[in-house]
């Protein structure tokens, strides 16, 4: 049994927000997950849909596996580098802004029949 992987790196959305959408599709068949992401209104859904489409294409091209036999075995969002910005506040104070980003990994497997 082979694992088909795809990575999305430096997605400029906080991992906490990405995990809310990632949790919806974990363990589902890929066709069902693609439809779910298509109608999901949260911002990470678009990039995650492209990532899943890339993983499906990897499976079909490199391993010759039909998309109907695939399911999402693992999908997770890790923390990527945080960009630190600054805004100046009242009385000469310093207000830091943390722009968080995330790395997303998806692992597909073939369902046993």
Please report, for the domain that includes residue 64, its CATH number.
3.90.470.10
Rounded to an integer, the average pLDDT of 75-85 is 96
State the chain's mean pLDDT as an integer.
94
- C-alpha 98/C-alpha 100 separation (Å) is 6
Q: Name 86's bridge partners.
A: 96
Asked whether the beta carbons of 60 and 108 are under 8 A apart, the reply is no
In tens, the pLDDT along 14-56 reads 999 999 999 999 999 999 999 999 999 999 999 999 999 999 9
Task: Look at the chain and report how many structural domains it folds into.
Answer: 1
**Domain extent for 17:** 4-110
Per-residue pLDDT band for 2 (boundaries 50, 70, 90) equals: confident
pLDDT digits (tens, 9 = 90+) for 89-112: 899 899 999 999 999 999 999 988
Detail the DSSP E strand segments found in 2-113.
Answer: 4-11, 70-79, 83-88, 94-99, 102-110
């Amino acid at each position: 049994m082979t694992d088909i992987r795809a990575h999305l790196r430096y997605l400029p959305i906080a991992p906490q927000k990405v995990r809310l959408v990632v949790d919806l599709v974990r363990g589902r068949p890929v066709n069902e997950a693609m439809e779910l992401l298509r109608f999901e209104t949260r911002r990470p859904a678009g990039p995650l849909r492209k990532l899943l489409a890339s993983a499906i294409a990897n499976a079909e091209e490199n391993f010759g596996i039909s998309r109907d036999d695939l399911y999402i075995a693992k999908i997770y969002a890790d923390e990527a580098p945080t960009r630190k910005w600054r805004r100046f506040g009242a009385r000469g104070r310093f207000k830091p802004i943390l722009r968080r980003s995330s790395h997303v990994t998806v692992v597909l497997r073939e369902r046993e029949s």
